Each structure stands twice: as C-alpha cells, then as structure tokens.
Amino acid sequence: MSEDWIGCVVSVDCGDTLGTYQGQVSLVNREDQSITLIKVFRNGMLCEVPTVTLSAIDIQDLKILKTSTEAEELPAIRHKVKNGHVTPPNAADAGEGYLDTTPLKPKASNDPGRRNGRSNGYQGVNGQGVNGFPNGNDQYNYSVSSTREADSFRKRSGSASDTKTNSGRGGRGRSTPKKIEGRRRNTPREECFSAPSQSFLGEFDFEKNLALFDKQAVFEEIESSSYPAEMQIAAQKQPPKYRCDENVLQSGPVELRQIKIKSSASSGMDKDYVTDAGLVVPCIPQDLRNKLFEKAEKAGFKTERLLEVVGRSACEMVLQLLGGAHRLNPRNAHQRPTVVVLCGPHMQGAQGVSCARQLANHNVNVILFVPNFLKMLNWLAEEIALFELTSGKKTSDPSGLPTFPVDIIINCLDNGENKHLRSQPWYTTIVNWTNQSKAPVMAMDPPADGGSDIQNKWSMCLGLPLNLPDNCGQIYLCDLGLPKAIFKQLGITYQSPFGHKFVIPLHVKASS
C-alpha cells in the first residue's frame, strides 16, 4: 500500500518547534515509519535541502492536498522568491496547485480518527477525505531529518524505531522535538569580515608601493590637462612671488670675496676662511693685525673700548654655548652653569677678565684665576677691580680651582709676546688641570705662532682671523666695530661679513 502514496502532495504539521512542511511524497518506509518529501516548503519558505525525511513520532497532523494522479495534471507554476519566501506571480497563476503555507492546527482530541497515536483518515484540499491512506493497524510516525548533501540523509535519534515500547499503554514513547539543521547562510557582514587571515600576514612594502607613484609626473599631467596652452604660457611669464621677508628688487650678482688684502701685506698667507653665507674671509699675519690695532687706537679706539667690545662678544658667545634661554631663566635657577676663566698678565688676560665680569652679571657662577705679580698692567688691574664688585670668585692659587665638573673653561693664558710664562710652575699646573678636566675649552684670541698647550674646542679671533694651528678647534670671528677707513689705511678692502650677528663661525675654505 505504501507505493500508492508516492507522488501525492501533502501538508504535514509537526508542531510549533519543527513547523509545517508541504511537499511531494517520494518514499514511504514502513519499517522506519517515516516518509520522505521532495520539493519541500517549510512554513512557506523553500527548503535548501532537496529532500526531507519526517518520522511519525513528530507528526501532529497530515493533510493530502493532491493525489499522485492529480499532482501529475498540475501545470508547472513559476514562483517569485522575495526575502526567502516563495510567492506566485498572481492569483490566477497559482490556481489550485499553489501550496497553502498557512500553519495548520492539529485535530481535537475527541476526533475518532486520532486515538492512541493512530490516524485512519486525512482531510483533503476541500475538506474531503482521501480513502486508501494507511489506516487500521497501519501506524506511521514522522520525524524531520535535514541533510546538507543531496545523496546523504540522517535519521533523527528520537524516532519511533529507536524508542522502546511503553509497557503500560502499548504505545510508543515520544522524543523531545529538535530543530531542523539546515545550511546556514552567511550574512553580508560575515562575508565582508571573514577574509582568511593568511592574506594579512605578509608585510606590506610601503617604499616599493610609494616608488610606483610619480607625484611630479601626475601633477604635470593635471596641470597640462586643466589649463589651455595659452594660459600655461601666460603663467610662465608671470613674475615670481616673494615672501614678506624677501627682497622685491633684484640686486646684482653677489661677490663672495668682499675682503681683499694687498699681496705685499699678505705675504705667505694663502689660507682663507668662508662664512656660512659663503663669503670669503682671508687670513692676515700677526704684524698686520698689530698695525691695525695701532691705527685704531690713534683714531680713538682705546684699549678700554677694545676690552669692553671683546668681553661682551665673548660673553654672548659663551651664553649661547651654555644653552641660552633654555639654561638661563628664572625657573631654572637651581641649575646655574659654572664657568672657569684662566687669565694671564697680558692683553688676552684682560679680555678674559672683562668676559668674566659680564658673565657674572648674567647670573653665571664664575671662578676667575689670575696669578700674582708684583707689577700689573693698569688696564688689567682696573678690570680685576671691576670683577671683584660682582658675585664671582677670584683665586691666584691653582689649588683653589674647583674639583667638581664645570660647564666651560675659557683659556686666556697664551700670548705671542710672553712665551716665557709657559715655563712657570703655576702655568704647568693650570695646563695639567685643564687637560684632565672633561669640560670644553674656548680660547680667546690665541696666538698664531706656537698655538697653545691646551686642546681647545673653540677659538675666537678679533677683527680678521690669524692663521691658527689645528689645535685651536672651531674658529669664530668677533666684530670689533672698526670703521672701513682704518682698514683702507693699511691697504685692506673691507666689507663687513657679520650681517645681523657680532660673532660668526668660520670654516676653512677648500683649495680650488
């Protein structure tokens, strides 16, 4: 009898948990008490699996919609799918062959056709019963078994064939309904963010990717395509735009060698220096510089004026080397720098005392060393007297020098005319202390002949540089403010290379 129901269109109600199924019967298994449906709809939605097997234990109600003969006569219906629901294009196309997706309620408990889990008759499409379906002692239970593959099926573990017979009633036990396991659709969010991690493990080469982009060529192409040829030619003829701090009027070509010395006056002086701006500053011999100071003193540039100008320029340079405004401010008073000034009994020593006085006026801890002499130069004694009016400390004994680290040491011990001082015991002691100290040393107006026994990091020259040895370190030039006429009297063509500064660095000019 089971072969008679193959091909029938049925509607099976499996309760609220499993839902209502509609489809065509393809297999009736009497041993397992199950039926298999094809072209299955669950709660009005087309199932993704090709077949569904229902066990009798899960079926609450079953209706035969069309017999196998009537199902063959039904025309093929084209359905529209929207949001997973299958709907006919219109009511006329649906006709009687449209599967009703309305959930069906089970029969009442007093229905004679349903008792002890048996069903003798079923309601058709128009409420008419269909004779011949399993009745009497034929008892069928149905269970849902969804499959992911078309050719593989999995029976439910709680079907009637797996349950034990109830000895009290003679009926079969009922398992707990389970949800149908179907294919899980990936949401758009999962499709977007579920990329394999292996695609992100490789390191991205930014430099190689950036090299592929020629920014200049792209800009030229944009400009050439954005403007016509006439506008491009007009744009090229427009004068360049200047900033607020640039000169609008064009000047003549810059002459780099603005200071020139006669060949007779600069005999043997073939060494030149160059500034950061590219201006050439030639070296002068020691005797020519002495003549320059003599001409300046006759013109009114006295020794006191010279000491004040040199002391102030040296003080400004040292303050910048100490850190400038970052180191010397009221909020950083607990880290006041310490400077040691070593002076000899000559002009360079007097310049060092003047620098020490002005450093002490800027709240720098200054320690001045000047040896004791029976007779001292007048302008040197005056500078020492002015320094004693400050908060700086003065010592004449090398043992009074600090044993703690200092920031900078100013070397004013050497003079080209007093070479005999190097043989004095105090001089040797001072040189040894300076060389053992780790503080940088700045020399003020070091002599060109013989240099110094101390390794200097910076050296400051006056007016025009001398041909200094290599142990003098970085060369700086100090502006004395001498008029051009004084240079002209000695045959020197002079134009100031200082610009907006009073002390500028010099670099050795490479030989061409």
> Is residue 24 a part of any domain in this protein?
yes
Strand partners, 46: 41
- Find how far residue 189's CA is from the centre of its chain: 30
pLDDT of residue 336: 87
- 477-490 average pLDDT score: 93
> Is residue 362 a part of any domain in this protein?
yes
pTM (2 decimals)? 0.53
C-alpha closest to that of 481 among 467, 469, 498, 466:
498
pLDDT of residue 226: 61
pLDDT of residue 43: 87
DSSP class of 129: B
Lowest mean pLDDT among 24-28, 135-139, 479-483: 135-139
407 or 184, higher pLDDT? 407
Strand partners, 81: 86
Strand partners, 35: 28, 54
Mean pLDDT of the chain: 76
3-state secondary structure of 138: coil
Q: Are residues 289 and 429 in the same domain?
A: yes
- 292-307 average pLDDT score: 92
pLDDT band of 337, cuts 50, 70, 90: very high
Q: Are residues 148 and 27 in the same domain?
A: yes
What residue numbers bound the domain in which 370 lies? 260-327+336-508
pLDDT > 90: what percent of the chain? 31
449 or 497, higher pLDDT? 497
- List the structure tokens of 231: 């506008």
Backbone angles phi, psi at 160, to 5 degrees: -65, -30
Q: Are residues 149 and 280 in the same domain?
A: no
> Is residue 11 a part of any domain in this protein?
yes
3-state secondary structure of 155: coil
3-state secondary structure of 175: coil
pLDDT of residue 232: 61
Burial category of 283 from C-beta neighbours within 10 Å (exposed 0-12, middle 13-18, buried 19 and up): buried
pLDDT band of 236, cuts 50, 70, 90: low
pLDDT of residue 70: 80
**Amino acid type, 491:** G
Among 162, 179, 214, residue at a domain's last position:
162
Query: C-alpha angle with apex 59: 58 to 60, nearest 5 degrees?
Result: 115
pLDDT of residue 267: 55
Contact 92, 2 (CB under 8 A): no
- List the structure tokens of 288: 């020519």
Q: Give the count of domains, the chain.
A: 2
3-state secondary structure of 11: strand
- 9-28 average pLDDT score: 89
The DSSP element (H or E) to which 343 belongs, if any, is: strand 338-343
The DSSP element (H or E) to which 22 belongs, if any, is: strand 20-29
3-state secondary structure of 164: coil
CA–CA gap between residue 280 and residue 512 (Å, rounded): 13
pLDDT digit string (tens) for 312-333? Answer: 999 999 999 998 888 888 887 7
pLDDT of residue 5: 77
- List the structure tokens of 306: 């010279």
- Count of C-beta atoms within a 10 Å radius of residue 160: 25
> Is residue 69 a part of any domain in this protein?
yes
379 or 77, higher pLDDT? 379
Whether 350 has a pLDDT exceeding 60, the answer reads yes
Whether 266 has a pLDDT exceeding 50, the answer reads yes
pLDDT digit string (tens) for 44-97? Answer: 888 888 898 988 888 888 888 888 878 777 655 444 444 444 444 443 344 444
- Find how far residue 134's CA is from the centre of its chain: 78
CA–CA gap between residue 113 and residue 415 (Å, rounded): 134
C-alpha closest to that of 276 among 503, 16, 105, 30:
503
pLDDT band of 421, cuts 50, 70, 90: confident
For residue 126, give the CATH number of its domain: 2.30.30.100
> Is residue 412 a part of any domain in this protein?
yes
pLDDT of residue 364: 93
pLDDT band of 389, cuts 50, 70, 90: very high
Q: Are residues 283 and 421 in the same domain?
A: yes
Backbone angles phi, psi at 274, to 5 degrees: -135, 140
> Is residue 220 a part of any domain in this protein?
no
Among 162, 177, 208, residue at a domain's last position:
162
- Find how far residue 153's CA is from the centre of its chain: 57
63 or 235, higher pLDDT? 63
Alpha carbons within 13 angstroms on the beta-carbon side of residue 435 total: 11
3-state secondary structure of 497: coil
Q: Are residues 288 and 154 in the same domain?
A: no
Contact 14, 31 (CB under 8 A): no
pLDDT of residue 382: 93
CA–CA gap between residue 71 and residue 434 (Å, rounded): 116
For residue 470, give the CATH number of its domain: 3.40.50.10260
Among 120, 145, 162, residue at a domain's last position:
162
Backbone angles phi, psi at 7, to 5 degrees: 100, -10
Contact 11, 22 (CB under 8 A): yes
Q: Are residues 147 and 264 in the same domain?
A: no
> Is residue 283 a part of any domain in this protein?
yes
**Cβ partners under 8 Å of residue 29, min gap 6:** 2, 35, 36
133 or 280, higher pLDDT? 280
- 121-125 average pLDDT score: 38
Contact 503, 313 (CB under 8 A): yes
- 234-257 average pLDDT score: 70
pLDDT digit string (tens) for 201-217? Answer: 667 788 888 888 888 88
pLDDT of residue 93: 42
Q: Are residues 348 and 463 in the same domain?
A: yes
- 332-341 average pLDDT score: 87
> Is residue 191 a part of any domain in this protein?
no
Query: C-alpha angle with apex 264: 263 to 267, nearest 5 degrees?
Result: 80
Strand partners, 24: 9, 38
CA–CA gap between residue 338 and residue 364 (Å, rounded): 6
pLDDT of residue 185: 61
Tell me the pairing of strands 408-412 and 441-444. parallel
pLDDT of residue 161: 43
Whether 23 has a pLDDT exceeding 80, the answer reads yes
Question: Rounded to the nearest 10 degrees, what angle do helices 303-322 and 347-361 cross at?
Answer: 50
pLDDT of residue 330: 82
CA–CA gap between residue 384 and residue 318 (Å, rounded): 20
C-alpha closest to that of 9 among 52, 56, 71, 60:
71
CA–CA gap between residue 419 and residue 428 (Å, rounded): 13
**Cβ partners under 8 Å of residue 115, min gap 6:** none
DSSP class of 487: H
pLDDT band of 28, cuts 50, 70, 90: confident
Q: Are residues 267 and 407 in the same domain?
A: yes
pLDDT band of 365, cuts 50, 70, 90: very high
Lowest mean pLDDT among 49-58, 143-152, 287-296, 408-417: 143-152
pLDDT digit string (tens) for 422-447? Answer: 888 889 999 999 989 889 999 999 88
pLDDT of residue 406: 94
**Cβ partners under 8 Å of residue 122, min gap 6:** 62, 63, 64, 129, 130, 133
